[in-house]
Structure 1
Amino acid sequence: MTEQRIRELMATREAAMTARDATALAAQYVPEAVAFTLAPPLVHHGEDVAAREAWFASFDGPIEYSTRDLAITVGEDLAYCHALTYLSATPQGMPQKFELWFRSTVCFRKRDGDWLITHVHDSTPFYMDATMSAALDLKP
């Protein structure tokens, strides 16, 4: 049942991202959450609804967001999962959308009988050559 609950929460997260629902995303987080996301700054503290709404507004058209290869580990009061995550959207003023796959780890803590996100870590690999560029062309 607990693994199933984490799967449900991750599905809710995906739905909130594609629906641009900042409030639904924020409801999944503890106030003191720490997130290392793809967007600056280096560290985000808590889930800032206004900042997330501004991020959503920076895209024209739909936002595509999904995960695959979700692996879940559950303890009594702590759980975490990791997956490959797909994101595609069209930045305002750009002629076409971007798409990328990145790595995600989401950590949960049980509070008041349900699971809430305490930590998120997203990362994109980079080419360790002369370019030092993000490896945005990788696909699973």
Structure 2
Amino acid sequence: MPTQRESDEAAIRQHVGKIVEGLRAKDLDGLRSLYAADVVSFDVEPPLQHVGVEAKMKNWTNVFAVFETVDYEVRDLTLTVGDEVAFGHCFGRLSGTLKNGTATSGMWVRGTFCFRKADGRWLIAHDQASVPFDLATGRGVVDLQP
């Protein structure tokens, strides 16, 4: 029989899988249900922070406005799970076909998730997507592979 921590880790991994499913299906309602109402997101597009689930949904709406088809890949997800909070990091890549018909393999980003358990359910309380940058130019480096 799995321990509570093992069960929680499995639930969180399923949760991350639901993010992938929601993006592929362009399912904003499904995605919304995965985040805490007060989520704070540090995404790759401005501003520096997006506060609240509606701000996070606006980010995904922007993605869906640009992409005809969306794919998302998560690689090397590592989790640390406590009783009420958990965190993890991974690499993520958004790709697909743009509205103009151009296929794009996207770019890999570094992803961090922070989860909070609420009423027995894990929700994303914070996420961050980032790319390294070149100190000399101040530009993001977006051609790296995990």
Is the shorter-chain TM-score for this pair beyond 0.5, marking a shared fold?
Answer: yes
CA contact (8 A) 1:20 1:56 kept: no
Percent of pairs with identical residues: 33
Q: Equivalent of 1:2, from 2, 8, 31?
A: 8
2: distance between equivalents of 1:37 and 1:83?
Answer: 14
Unaligned runs of 5+ in 1: none
Counterpart of 1:15?
21
Moved more, 55-64 or 112-121: 55-64
2: distance between equivalents of 1:95 and 1:112?
Answer: 43
Q: Tell me whether 1:63 sits opposite 2:80 in the alignment.
A: no
2: distance between equivalents of 1:84 and 1:95?
Answer: 23
Alignment of 1:1-140 (within 5 A): 1-48=7-54, 51-52=58-59, 54-93=61-100, 95-97=102-104, 99-129=106-136, 131-140=137-146
Unaligned runs of 5+ in 2: 1-6
Q: Once the two structures are superposed, what CA deviation does each residue of 1:71-113 show, in whole Å capped at 9, x if it has no partner?
A: 0000010011110111114444474525100000111111001
**What secondary structure does 2:83 align onto?**
coil
Q: Which has the higher helix share?
A: 2
Moved more, 111-120 or 92-101: 92-101
Structure 1 letter corresponding to 2:74? T
1: distance between equivalents of 2:140 and 2:105?
Answer: 13
**What secondary structure does 2:53 align onto?**
coil
